[in-house]
Amino acid sequence: MNAVLDTSVTTAPLDARGLTHCYEGSNALKHVDLALEPGSVLGLIGRNGAGKSTLIRALLGLLIPLSGEAFVFGEPALKLTDAVKERIAYVPQQPEALAWLTAEQMFDYLGRFYPRWDHGFAKSMLSRWQIPTNRVLGKLSPGERQRVDLIRALASQPELLVLDEPAAALDPVARRELLREIAMRAGESGTTVLFSTHIVSDLERVASDVAFLHEGRLLLHCSVDETKERYARLWLPAALANAAPEKALSRRRHEDGSLSLVVQRDAAGLGPDIGKLPGARLEAMGLEDLFVEVAE
Amino acid sequence: MAHPAMSLAARTRHGHLWQWLVLPWRAQDQGGQWFMLTILALTLGGAVLLKPLVGSGWPFISGTLTGIAVILIWLYLMPCCLRLTLAARALRLPGITAQVYTSFALYAVLTSVLPAILFALVGGPGLTVGVACFFAAACAFLLALLPHYVCFAVCMAPAVLGSWMTPLPIWVPRPGDAGFLMALGWASVALACLAIARWYRVSAGGISDSRWRRPLICNLSATYLGNDRSAPTLHMDDMQLIRQRPNWLQPEVDVRHTGPRHLQRSLRVALGTSWLPLTRRSYWRQVLYGMLVLAFSVAFVALMTHGDPDGQRTLWHVLLALAGGVMLAIGCLASLSPLLGLHRRWSRTNAELPLLALLPHLDAPSRIKATLLHVGLRLPITRWLVWAALAWIVACWHHGSITLGITLTMAGLTLFGMLLIAALLLGIVGHQHITRSSMVVLTVYLFVLSLFSGGYALAVLFGRMGFSLPGVLALAFWWLLLLAPLGGFIVNGWRAWQGLPHPFLAREG
């Protein structure tokens, strides 16, 4: 029994191995490996069209990838058992499901399938977020619709919460409340959260880890603090540009011939040796700077 | 991606004859282009080929076919230029509007003067054909720009006018009366002026958000409004329908008796629209709305047959035809439209599919697949069977006895309908695309076959033509020919469906 419990605790809630997918010939995912630690809050960041939604759908078994495998709590994503499905909740970017039901009807309907459904929470959140309960979902505004879907996801008391750009249609107040709810769930209940976003401030507010997806490739995956410590911007004047290190996350040449690179520091926090040369300088980077440097 | 109007602007800035000719075609999507080309080829080809076959009656037959082609051009093809004009105005693109107007002028000549000259050259009534074509063009163009309910009233006006002509002091020249051609010509000019005025109003004011004010062409062409997803077109999906329907028309769903122990009912809730289990009150309300539509139709028929010396008999015949029409609507629309709605909804990634894919306790994938197929097929097939049985009873009753021909026809139609429903559902759940070209060929084939079958059935019903078993069997043969492609779709859909790891995977582009 203990062995079983231990396995459930240590098994990665989400695990992708070599996921590759393409749409009409263009690669949406290129050999992505990603594993979530139990209890972590992973912010998946990337520009529009970077492949975030595709990765999330492949991770949850909502599409068949061209190659690679995905596992949810150790089970193949395309063949999930009820026991695992009970433990996960997913909110798509633009929730459109069951538009003919009112929010109350939707919760009544879905709640019958989840053994741990929290009816009280659903009801109180509907009233707190002032969602009209007598109007069908199809007639709600996009923001209200997204809030209903968030309540739906949270009411099932999931161990793994996957949110695809959850704040896209929310106003700042609702966004702040959502982030607080995510942080609380992760802190108190140990819920593992994966959320995609391109709003860096949201990510910095709640995420413990960050994964950077760019043009279908996972460029980095580590903790938020580690990311800030590990990556730095190296400025090289034109005279030193030819001696730039080959290994860099991104490189940009400026009009005056100078070069800026995103480089990795070593364990002692030191950058490449060239950074010590006169004219060169190594700068710390925030997440937003890192995102902009790599995405541009 | 560049807006279609921008690429058109680039191509048509320096217009010449060919560009004016192809401009309305470029405003169409590929399916619309093929549909128009095929129907035009059939009608105009028929007008030419039937001339030596029908003897002295050729001017009427060829003229009618030409008229149908002209109506299609001005009802569907030319009004689509409105999209170009609106887009050009919104994007501040110069020159497009002038090109559109030149194209209109060119097509006005091609659809009225050219037929007149051709008919005159082969010894036909050139002037009559020319004026009639101009009248048809002006009528069709005006209708395309009017709201749909106004179109309905305008289309029915001649019939109502005809029945009320005796008591009301309205004189309308009939074909054969002196001055008919002149009156038709003036009427055409008046209609053309109205159409131009309406065009200016719509193109200057833009398309209204209210579906009651939008031109008919918005309902006919899906591509017409580009990215405007709120447009109520024939392709309007269930979401748009829900958004636009007033609260008192929304169905009330009964979510009791759903959950893991009531899978079929739970899946009905997930499938939505016609599959939804309704509360008793909502169910009776839907029945009431149906009865109101029927009552309105009967009242309209009564209005139309007013003044007919043989009114009772005509009313009875028209009511029979109306019953047939309503039954056909129930059979075809009620059976197939839920599937088309499901197809559009489940083609998107954020509808019910992710929710269902991750919903626990829906049963094992193989069993839920079987349940989904069962629930998905039961409703449309039941509706189709009910329609076929009612149609068979009415046809036999009207004919006076149960005949082999009617029974075979209805059996064939039943089989065809059931296979079509199975092919559509398996295509949706098995992610099998029916290619655009196949769809166009099938649509045209069905259109022509339905036209012949409907015409034959009406001719028999009204005693204009005797019932003949060979005729029915010939029609049945052409209907049965459709079984081959349908069988292919079913087999492909089934194989793909069986190969999916679970039934709620989104269709990936």
Pairs of residues, one from chain A and one from chain B, whose beta carbons lie less than 8 Å apart: 112
Cβ neighbours of residue B31 under 8 Å, at least 6 residues apart? B436, B439, B440
Q: Is the pLDDT of residue B299 over 80?
A: no
Give the pLDDT confidence score for residue A282 in this predicted structure.
Answer: 83
pLDDT at B165: 57
Query: Any CB–CB contact under 8 A between B361 and chain A?
Result: yes
pLDDT higher than 50, residue B231: no
Mean pLDDT of chain B: 79
Highest mean pLDDT among B42-51, B376-385, B386-395: B376-385
pLDDT value at position B230?
39
CA distance A192 to A39: 4
- Is the Cβ pair B253, A100 closer than 8 Å? yes
Reported confidence tier of residue B223, pLDDT bands at 50, 70, 90: very low
Tokens of A140: 């709600």
Q: How far does the CA of residue A215 sit from the closest CA of chain B (Å)?
A: 18
Question: DSSP 3-state assignment of B388?
Answer: helix
Q: Which residue has the tokens 């050009």?
A: B88
The beta-carbon neighbor of B239 closest among A63, A113, A138 is A138
What pLDDT does A5 receive?
A: 46
pLDDT tens digits along B58-109: 888 888 889 989 999 998 888 888 888 888 888 888 888 888 899 999 999 9
Q: Which residue of B has its CA nearest to A112?
A: B259
Q: Is the pLDDT of residue B301 over 70?
A: no
Contact between chains at A92 and B349 (C-beta distance less than 8 A)? yes
Whether the predicted pLDDT of B235 surpasses 70: no
pLDDT-wise least confident of A93-107, A202-216, B460-474: B460-474
**pLDDT tens across B48-68, in order?**
887 777 677 788 888 888 998
The pLDDT value given to residue B209? 62
DSSP codes of every residue in A264-294 = E--TTS---GGGGSTT-EEEE--HHHHHHHH
pLDDT in tens, B319-368: 666 666 666 666 677 778 888 888 888 877 777 899 999 999 988 888 89
Beta carbons of B352 and A63 less than 8 Å apart: no
Q: Do A62 and B506 touch (CB under 8 A)?
A: yes
List the single range of B323-327, B436-440, B443-447, B466-470 with lowest mean pLDDT. Answer: B323-327
- The CA distance from B71 to the nearest CA of chain A, in Å, is 38
Is the pLDDT at B233 greater than 50? The verdict is: no
Using N-to-C axis directions, what is the helix angle for B365-399 and B334-346, rounded to 10°?
150
Confidence of residue A294 (pLDDT cuts 50, 70, 90): confident
Inform me whether the pLDDT recorded for A76 exceeds 80.
Answer: yes
Who wins on pLDDT, B434 or B326? B434
- More confident call, A273 vs B260: B260
Note whether B401 contacts A: Cβ–Cβ < 8 A. no
> Are A80 and B358 inside 8 Å of each other by CB?
yes
Specify the pTM: 0.75
- pLDDT higher for A107 or A287? A107
Residue B226 has what pLDDT?
A: 40
Instruction: Determine which of B255, B353, B507 to mutate to test the interface with A (most A C-beta atoms within 10 Å).
Output: B255
Q: Please tell me the predicted confidence (pLDDT) of residue B326.
A: 63
Parallel, antiparallel or unpaired: strands A14-23 and A26-35: antiparallel
Residues of chain A with C-beta less than 8 angstroms from the C-beta of B253: 100-101, 105
Across chain A, the runs of DSSP E, i.e. the strands, are: 14-23, 26-35, 41-45, 67-72, 75-76, 88-91, 160-164, 192-197, 209-214, 217-223, 231-236, 250-253, 259-264, 281-284
Chain B environment of A101 (Cβ under 8 Å):
253, 255, 269
Tell me whether 0.95 is exceeded by the ipTM: no
> Which pLDDT does position B12 carry in this prediction?
52
CB atoms within 10 A of CB B361: 17
pLDDT, tens only, B114-143: 999 998 888 888 898 999 999 999 999 999
| Higher per-residue confidence, A116 vs B485 | A116
Give the pair of three-digit tokens for residue A91: 């909110």
More confident residue, B51 or A58: A58
To the nearest whole angstrom, how far is the Cα of B245 from the nearest Cα of chain A? 9
Lowest mean pLDDT among B10-19, B138-147, B372-381: B10-19
Cα A44 to chain centroid distance, Å, stands at 3
Judged against a pLDDT cut of 50, whether residue A135 lies above it is answered with yes
A272: closest CA of chain B, how far (Å): 42
- From chain A, the residues in CB contact with B276 under 8 A are 100
pLDDT of residue A192: 94
Chain B residues with CB under 8 Å of A99 CB are 238-239, 242, 272
**What's the mean pLDDT in A211-220?**
90
Least confident of A35-49, B157-171, B200-214, B239-253: B157-171
Asked if A138 lies within 8 A of B242 by C-beta distance, the reply is: yes
Q: How far is B205 from chain A (nearest CA, A)?
A: 27
From B242, which residue of chain A is nearest by alpha-carbon distance?
Answer: A138
Longest dimension (CA), chain A: 69
The residue-averaged pLDDT of A54-71 equals 93
Q: At what angle do helices B311-328 and B280-304 cross, to 10 degrees?
A: 140
Share of chain B above pLDDT 90, in %: 19
Q: Which residue has the higher pLDDT, B161 or B110?
A: B110
**Residue A136 with chain B: CB contacts under 8 Å:** 242, 250
**Residue recorded with tokens 């079929």:** B264
Question: How confident is the model at residue B33, as a pLDDT?
Answer: 82
Nearest to A100 among B247, B276, B501 (CB): B276
A23, A94, A136: residue with CB nearest B350: A94
**Candidates B247, B351, B361; nearest CB to A113:** B361
Q: Which residues contact B399 (CB under 8 A, 6 or more apart)?
A: B406, B467
Q: Which residues of A fall within a CB distance of 8 Å from B270?
A: 98
Q: Positive or negative, the Cα torsion across B451, B457, B460, B461?
A: negative
